[in-house]
Amino acid sequence: MKILVTGFTPFGNDTVNPSWEAVSRLPDEIDGATVQKVLLPVEYRRVRTLLEERLRNDMPDAVMCVGQAGGRAMITPEKVAINCMDASLPDQAGLLASDLPVREDGPTAYFSALPIKGMVSAMQQSGIPGALSYSAGTYVCNSTMYHLLDLIAQLQLPVRGGFVHVPFLCEQTVGRAPSTASLPLPCIIEGLKACITAIVQTDTGSNTDVHGYTH
């Protein structure tokens, strides 16, 4: 089995991004599955091109994109990505999105096709704080998840895909409010390893919904 795992470059005022710090340190094999790691830019549109290249060239069995959710206290697999780009912070290409679609005439949303409940359970059993999330936001993390699932649907690929958010690293809380949540890097790495183990051990089609929905 081949699993593609992506992380992001730093953005905003941060000099590190916990997603890539953790993803880049994952072992190359987890529970018998080959793990490929890809660094993505924090850009709404370019990630689609890069993801399509990797889907076509690497032909993974599953893709788990990982991003930063500053302020969250737990590692959170995402349930759904919506067809909306809207944020006060521009992406790294300078695009300031205000209520724009991720894809014109695309489905309203896509559900994760990863075993997200099993991933949460695996983290919790390993002593890692994990929980389901029902909102990936409307910044680049959400659009990346949407692009991934839309590409899988459009290309009719036998690939499971989804997204996981991770908290700030402890060092990122310096200068922020005292109550800002964070996790140490080794904890995030172990959480992602537990998520990947759950993906490997879950049969294709179990606890998944790869179809977009419209209203």
Write out the catalytic residue numbers.
Answer: 78, 141, 165
Cβ(9)–Cβ(17) under 8 Å?
A: yes
